[in-house]
């Protein structure tokens, strides 16, 4: 992000590429796996001119560190929005300080002690997201006592629960 200080429109492009796990290929194409995404579509999503995307991609390709990152980044299938439709439960943890170490381990330990299996755990990057959270998806309904126990953890500011 430091490489895009003073370039707010290009910084928006970088944030979107990182958030969505979009790659930048050696020829300057934005893609998700083998599916190319036109620069005009990226620009439209962000409300910027296509040339901003073009310039950002050129900047990525000129910088060896950025090039390596964006040639190798991958997106994941995040189940957070659809988990209840699949019969899975979602716990959203709002941390006291997302940059603190051990939040995921602490929460996972409490869940495991209750005999629940974690199907997916996704943590927002506190350096990329303004209000980072930890989303945990389990295979069973979550008892209220477990939510209360998680809420009492020192590292947890708040807890949300979404169940089928």
pLDDT tens, 118-164?
Answer: 999 999 888 878 899 999 999 988 998 999 999 999 999 999 999 88
pLDDT on residue 106: 94
Query: What is the arithmetic mean of pLDDT over 101-118?
Result: 94
pLDDT on residue 53: 97
Tally helices (H) and strands (E) across the chain: 6, 7
Count up the domains in the chain and report the number: 2
Residues 6 and 66 in one domain: yes
Q: How many CB atoms lie within 10 A of CB 145?
A: 9
Percent of the chain with pLDDT over 70: 100
Give the pLDDT band of residue 5 (cuts 50, 70, 90): confident
Give the pLDDT band of residue 48 (cuts 50, 70, 90): very high
Mean pLDDT of the residues in the chain: 93
Q: In this model, does residue 3 exceed pLDDT 90?
A: no
Q: How many CB atoms lie within 10 A of CB 60?
A: 24
Residues 40 and 65 in one domain: yes
Helices (H), the chain: 8-20, 39-46, 50-62, 64-72, 103-113, 144-151
Asked if residue 33 belongs to a domain, the reply is: yes
Q: In this model, does residue 109 exceed pLDDT 90?
A: yes
Residues 51, 10: contact at Cβ < 8 Å?
A: no
Q: In this model, does residue 36 exceed pLDDT 90?
A: yes
What CATH number does the domain containing 149 carry? 3.30.70.260
Asked if residue 8 belongs to a domain, the reply is: yes
Q: In what order do the strands lie in the sheet with 134-138?
A: 118-123, 134-138, 89-95, 156-162
pLDDT on residue 73: 94
Print the domain residue range for 13.
Answer: 2-72
Asked if residue 37 belongs to a domain, the reply is: yes
Q: Which residues, other chains included, contact 146 with Cβ-Cβ below 8 Å and sequence gap of 6+?
A: 110, 111, 114, 116
Residues 110 and 63 in one domain: no
């Amino acid at each position: 992000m430091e490489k895009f200080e003073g370039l707010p429109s290009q910084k928006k492009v970088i944030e979107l590429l990182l958030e969505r796990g979009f790659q930048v290929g050696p020829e300057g194409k934005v893609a998700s796996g083998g599916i190319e995404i036109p620069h005009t579509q990226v620009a439209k999503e962000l409300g910027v001119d296509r040339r901003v995307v073009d310039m950002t991609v050129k900047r990525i390709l000129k910088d060896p560190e950025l090039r390596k990152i964006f040639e190798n980044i991958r997106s994941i299938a995040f189940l957070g929005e659809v988990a209840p439709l699949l019969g899975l439960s979602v716990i959203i943890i709002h941390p006291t300080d997302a940059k603190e170490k051990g939040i995921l381990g602490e929460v996972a330990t409490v869940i495991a002690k209750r005999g629940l299996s974690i199907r997916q755990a996704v943590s927002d990057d506190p350096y990329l997201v303004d209000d980072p959270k930890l989303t945990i998806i389990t295979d069973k309904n979550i008892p209220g006592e477990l939510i209360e126990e998680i809420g009492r953890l020192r590292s947890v500011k708040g807890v949300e629960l979404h169940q089928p």
